[in-house]
């Protein structure tokens, strides 16, 4: 059973013991080493993160505030170039409510995604290039290319974003 779990998470079978996560690095010590550089996410984690981002983009295009908020952890922070940071779930929710109430149609299409993960500690990072289209009824859509860096944390309900940085390219 440990062999299967190890294959799915990218850990060694010895790291998966009695449901405990080890804070040790991949070389068996608690001291960082060159071996501890970011590693590509396992296939299972990569799939889960891609599915989470797809569900977020779908919720955004439908202006579904509750589904959008499921993307974030309770302590999420959003940083956007030339804007103030949103440092609480209430601020994040309010930001989306304002966009949706202005009848802004927002569609985000991830063009390129790369994920790196520390599977043992339940943390992952996603580097993305996103095409974002915004429009109001009767106006020409505005298209931006955005560089996104999201940090994810594994929670009891799956992966969730707890830090987001967006920069318009």
Query: If we measure between CA atoms, which residue out of 99, 118, 104 comes closest to residue 41?
Result: 118
Banded model confidence at residue 27, pLDDT cuts 50, 70, 90:
very low
- What is the CATH code for 2-11+37-168? 3.10.450.50
pTM (two decimals): 0.76
Banded model confidence at residue 22, pLDDT cuts 50, 70, 90:
very low
């Amino acid at each position: 059973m440990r062999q299967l779990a190890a294959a799915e998470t990218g850990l060694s079978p010895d790291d998966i013991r009695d449901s405990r996560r080890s804070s040790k690095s991949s070389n068996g010590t608690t001291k960082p080493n060159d071996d501890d550089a970011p590693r590509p996410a396992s296939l299972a984690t990569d799939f889960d993160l891609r599915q989470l981002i797809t569900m977020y983009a779908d919720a955004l295009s439908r202006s579904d505030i509750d589904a959008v908020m499921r993307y974030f952890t309770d302590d999420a922070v959003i940083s956007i170039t030339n804007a103030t940071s949103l440092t609480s779930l209430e601020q994040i929710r309010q930001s989306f409510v304002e966009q949706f109430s202005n009848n802004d149609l927002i569609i985000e299409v991830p063009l390129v995604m790369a994920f790196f993960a520390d599977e043992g500690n339940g943390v992952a990072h996603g580097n993305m290039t996103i095409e974002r289209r915004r429009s109001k009824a009767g106006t020409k859509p505005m298209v931006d290319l955005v560089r996104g860096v999201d940090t994810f944390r594994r929670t009891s309900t799956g992966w969730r974003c707890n830090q987001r940085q967006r920069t318009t390219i």
